Structure formats: structure tokens, C-alpha cells
Amino acid sequence: MANTAAYYGFQQYFGGAGGAPTFAQSTRRIASSASTAIYSGDPVTPVAGTGAATGYIVSAANGATPIAGIFVGCKYLSTALGRVVWSPYWPGSGATGDVEAYVIDDPNARFVVQTSFAGAPMTGTATTMTSGIIGQYATFNRGTGSTATGRSGAYLDNVSTTITSPFIVVDYAISFGNGGDPTTQYCNVIVGFNNEVWRTNGAGPASINA
């Protein structure tokens, strides 16, 4: 069955790091003034100029490197409601004080994500893909998140040999559902972190393909 575009962001894959009780998750902070929405499954990046030192994060720009992990929700004191609310996404406003954010940032974490590829595998423009993309580096596009579900609309938009890209393709996510056919456009793949603040990006992280 041909796949269709139905982007859902980066969904944690439990074939890698991420078991109970922590699920490879850390607590970070979002400034209440951070006006760009962040959805569950979105890549995030450290606040510019601070590295990972302060713990503050913002939504990662398309293809940004390095990233600080994958956002999975938050809680904050709602200015309008006068109480703490838990949310699968940060709407970009409405908090009194810092937002407590939850981010999957374990260097060995894995994620399932849909691709948008429509071309040759090495350039990210192929309508069909081969095993040649496994081990290739990948960039992403934030897409459009959903305020109804809080879910990300991010997807992989390119694979290449550029070693500073934020992700590396580990395998195909073959299934009977949408995105499960690796022979057509919009297939699902499993990725790991490549250029991420808690792991060293060097000449090429071939070891995490194992």
C-alpha cells in the first residue's frame, strides 16, 4: 500500500534507550517569553549562545544543529487560569514564570519519524528509497503542529553525508500501517541522535548504527 503524508513528529522508539522509569527523559526550562510554539515530538535546541549550560530550550529551526533533544510535554503556571496546567505542547504564551519542559535527550535514544523524500536517496528527493539511506545523516522540517492534540508535525526532509546533521538513519520502520512501506514516498524510518548536545559529533558516528 502506498504511503501518504501524515506527519507526527519524532515518536520515541523503545528498541533503543528509553525504558522505565525515566524513558531517557530530562527536565529543561522554557522562558515564558519564548513565543514559538513547541509540540510533542518537536526537536528543540539550547537557547542561542548558552550551549546546554542554562537548561533553557527553544524550538529548533529547520535543520538546526546541534539539538538538545525531543520535546514531549510541559507544565506551567497558567496566567489566565491561575493554576498549574500540564500540556503536551507549549503554545508560546500564557505562563507566569518559567515553563518546566520534558525532553528526551539520552544520546542513545531512538525515534520513529515519517519522511517526505521525493528524489534520489543521497539528496532526499527520491520517490523510492533503498537501504542506501541507512547510516546517512538527516535533517528535519518542523512542519505544522496541532493545537487540538499537541502533536508535532515534524518530519525528515533530507538525507546526505553531511556529518553535522542532527540525526542519523538507523533503519526502516516497516509495518502494515501508513508509512510502513519502505519502497514508496513518505515511509517511516528509525533515527538516532547525531549532532546533539549530550553526544560528541566527530568524523561520523558509525558506531550507533549497530
pLDDT for position 29: 95
pLDDT for position 18: 62
Distances (CA, A) of 173 to 15, 179, 194, 206: 11, 8, 19, 19
Q: pLDDT tens digit string along 149-176?
A: 999 999 998 888 888 899 999 988 888 8
Does residue 76 carry a pLDDT above 70? yes
Task: Sketch the domain layout of the chain as residue ranges.
Answer: 25-104, 108-205
Amino acid at 135: G
Q: What does the DSSP 8-state code read for residue 98? A: -
